[in-house]
């Protein structure tokens, strides 16, 4: 098994992410995904709308920017490209071309992908992992899965997808740890400014403490 540069396989698939000790967000009883931005009108994608879209399976490894990789995951859902072609393209005014897509989760988390990366054939709007509906640890009810990009692009608990015609402002753009706008794992695009190889050793030392904190996050809050 070959992993992208600077990645190490870990056992299982911990709930990693930036939320650490936060429990997963509350999900509404009838969760929908709002599609908005540069569309002629917004669209609300309900669970039954999603169920009508063609589905596929995707076997892939999952790579966190901190250097761990979970291997051999089997996702199911609809490709982002299918959603885009069937539901979004009909809502574009003539001449409008989408360049960036913002994915937002019920916990307020956001990620941005450039159009070309989101349209790759391994990008799923996924609702199942290893034959089961997504658990709250891994993004229930629906998450983005883009295994060729670092975990931070893979927004969990999707509630909104926004279509943009230019790069949306990045509040962290001046941070030394600003995210890489492409975040492609095979090119080791971890951060915008720092080369991947420079941050690798720091991250590797953080993996086990992060793993401990993340495990705490998956526990139900008391009461």
Ligand X SMILES: Nc1nc2c(c(=O)[nH]1)N[C@H]1C(S)=C(S)[C@@H](COP(=O)(O)O)O[C@H]1N2
What residues numbered 16-35 form the site for ligand X, per CB under 6 A? 16-19
Residue 109 lies near ligand X (rule: CB under 6 A): yes
Residue 64 lies near ligand X (rule: CB under 6 A): yes
Q: How far is the CB of 66 from Mo ion (least distance, A)?
A: 6
* Closest to ligand X by CB, 85 or 216: 216
Q: How far is the CB of 154 from Mo ion (least distance, A)?
A: 8
* Closest to ligand X by CB, 45 or 70: 70
* Closest to ligand X by CB, 92 or 213: 213
Residue 78 lies near ligand X (rule: CB under 6 A): no
Residue 200 partner contact from Mo ion, ligand X, none using kind-dependent CB cut-offs of 5 to 8 Å: none
- Which tokens is 67 given? 């250097």
Give the HSE-up count for residue 179: Cα atoms under 13 Å, Cβ half-sphere: 23
Residue 154 partner contact from Mo ion, ligand X, none using kind-dependent CB cut-offs of 5 to 8 Å: ligand X
In the complex, the residues that contact ligand X under the rule CB under 6 A are 13, 15-19, 64, 105, 107, 109, 138-139, 151-152, 154-157
């Amino acid at each position: 098994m070959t992993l992208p540069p600077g990645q190490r396989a870990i056992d299982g698939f911990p709930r990693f992410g930036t939320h650490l000790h936060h429990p997963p967000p509350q999900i509404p009883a009838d969760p929908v995904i709002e599609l908005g931005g540069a569309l002629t009108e917004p669209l609300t994608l309900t669970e039954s709308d999603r169920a009508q879209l063609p589905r596929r399976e995707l076997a892939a490894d999952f790579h966190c920017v901190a250097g761990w990789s979970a291997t051999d995951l089997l996702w199911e859902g609809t490709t982002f490209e299918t959603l885009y072609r069937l539901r979004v393209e009909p809502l574009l005014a003539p001449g409008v071309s989408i360049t960036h897509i913002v994915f937002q989760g019920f916990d307020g988390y956001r990620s941005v992908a450039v159009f070309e990366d989101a349209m790759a054939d391994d990008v799923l709007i996924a609702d199942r992992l290893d034959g089961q509906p997504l658990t709250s640890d891994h993004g229930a009810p629906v998450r983005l899965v883009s295994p060729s990009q670092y975990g931070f692009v893979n927004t969990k608990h999707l509630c909104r997808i926004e279509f943009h015609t230019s790069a949306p402002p990045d509040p962290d753009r001046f941070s030394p740890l600003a995210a890489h706008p492409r975040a492609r794992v095979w090119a080791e695009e971890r951060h915008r400014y720092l080369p991947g190889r420079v941050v690798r050793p720091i991250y590797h030392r953080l993996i086990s403490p992060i793993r401990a904190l993340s495990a705490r996050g998956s526990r139900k809050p008391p009461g």
